[in-house]
Amino acid sequence: MIIDFILDLYIFVMSILFIWLGFKIDTESYKENRMFMSLFSFTGVFPFLLTISYYLFRIFMIGLGAIFLYLLFTGGFEY
């Protein structure tokens, strides 16, 4: 019983951290690397790929956190 509570709490905290990471890291990394991207040509492929990778990372982390929260509250982690 206490083990189930601890596992549920762990999954809840992990889900919230994934969602937070999706918002925090993406914003900070994009601001830090904006100057780095300006060193390359704006018509090149690298700035475009870097921007796409930031948004894909953000979508993945927020989506993973949301899926974990959904499974936690609907009982998907119980066997």
* Residue 12 within a domain: yes
On whether residue 79 sits in a domain, the answer given is no
- Given a cut of 80, is residue 51 above it in pLDDT? no
pTM over 0.75: no
CA distances 78 to 14, 22, 32, Å, are 17, 26, 41
Give the residue-averaged pLDDT of 1-21.
Answer: 89
Report the number of distinct structural domains present in the chain. Answer: 1
Q: Enter the tokens of residue 59.
A: 């979508």
